[in-house]
């Protein structure tokens, strides 16, 4: 199809599809009206049963923990995929950084940005760790915290310290963090099996609601995910970085 024909066909079809979609959506209860029962039941029982004050966390990591295991492995698979695609490409395309690369250089970084960026790394890491550790109490958790931790690595890059970043997160470490986190989730699931219950049963002591050490396996899972997500996103970013930085000469940062 030519672009113009395609646009016309799409618009015609989308008009019909959109009408159908809206027709179906009018069958929903009005926005703001919730009929339940799933969420209502969980809001009633979850805190008592799981001792986690954040019910979203109980749902994510306990009641529907197997979904989250799948989700974690989706990230795992995507990161592996990116690594396979881009590393294979790098191997076939390895060329030494050449000298007339001036027109292709990544934009330089000013000293002020560098200082601010580096100064932010500490607080960002702390915040990420906080999010991971308090996921069962307040909003946050392994996923959000993991991404925040990965952005700490990014800050290092933005401040132009790419060489430092390479030293901090070589592929081996991020690969290892990622796969340990992923395997950790399954291992925690097997704890339930070892205790004679089903897979992913929360068999650790639950403690008291609101305490940092509560909710049994939920904080452990959060840690596993935090590790996996931080490693995974760092790997994603550094794979793309590797791509851009092949052409950036070391010490060229101004």
**What is each CA distance from 119 to 111, 124, 155, in whole angstroms?**
12, 9, 9
Residue with tokens 């081996």: 172
Task: Tell the smallest beta-carbon distance from residue 119 to another protein (Å).
Answer: 18
Report 76-105 residues binding another protein (CB under 8 A). Answer: 76-86, 88-89, 92-93, 95, 100-101, 103-104
| CA–CA dist 58, 67 (Å, integer) | 12
CB crowding 239-254: b at 16 or more within 10 Å, else e: bebbeebeebeeeebe
Task: Examine residue 37 and say whether the peptide bond preceding it is cis (omega within 30 degrees of 0).
Answer: yes
Report 14-73 residues binding another protein (CB under 8 A). Answer: 14, 16-18, 20-44, 46-48, 53-60, 62-71, 73
Q: Taking Cα atoms as reference points, which of 79, 73, 49 lies closest to residue 189?
A: 73
Q: Does 169 bind another protein (CB under 8 A)?
A: no
Give the max Cα distance, the chain: 67
Question: Which CB sits closer to another protein, 41 or 119?
Answer: 41
Question: Which CB sits closer to another protein, 56 or 114?
Answer: 56
Residue from 111, 116, 138, 213 binding another protein (CB under 8 A): 138
Task: Tell the smallest beta-carbon distance from residue 161 to another protein (Å).
Answer: 17
Report 172-191 residues binding another protein (CB under 8 A). Answer: 172, 175-176, 178-180, 182-183, 186-187, 189-190
């Amino acid at each position: 199809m030519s672009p113009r024909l395609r646009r016309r066909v799409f618009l015609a079809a989308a008009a019909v599809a959109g009408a159908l979609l809206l027709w179906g959506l009018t069958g929903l209860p009005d926005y703001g009206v919730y009929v339940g029962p799933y969420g209502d039941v969980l809001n009633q029982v979850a805190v008592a049963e799981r001792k986690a004050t954040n019910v979203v966390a109980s749902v994510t990591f306990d009641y529907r923990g197997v979904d989250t295991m799948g989700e974690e492995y989706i990230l795992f698979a995507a990161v592996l995929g990116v690594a396979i695609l881009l590393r294979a490409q790098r191997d076939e395309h390895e060329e030494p950084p050449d000298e007339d690369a001036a027109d292709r250089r990544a934009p330089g970084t000013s000293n002020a940005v560098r200082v601010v960026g580096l100064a932010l790394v500490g607080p960002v890491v702390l915040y990420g760790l906080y999010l991971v550790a308090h996921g069962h109490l307040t909003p946050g958790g392994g996923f959000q915290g993991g991404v925040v931790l990965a952005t700490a690595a990014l800050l290092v890059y933005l401040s132009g310290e790419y060489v430092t970043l390479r030293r901090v997160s070589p592929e081996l470490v991020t690969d290892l963090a990622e796969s340990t986190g992923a395997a950790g989730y399954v291992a925690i699931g097997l704890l339930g099996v070892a205790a004679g219950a089903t897979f992913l049963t929360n068999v650790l002591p639950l403690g008291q609601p609101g305490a940092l050490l509560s909710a049994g396996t939920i904080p452990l899972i959060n840690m596993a995910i935090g590790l996996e997500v931080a490693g995974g996103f760092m790997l994603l970013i550094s794979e793309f970085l590797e791509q851009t930085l092949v052409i950036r000469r070391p010490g060229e940062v101004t």
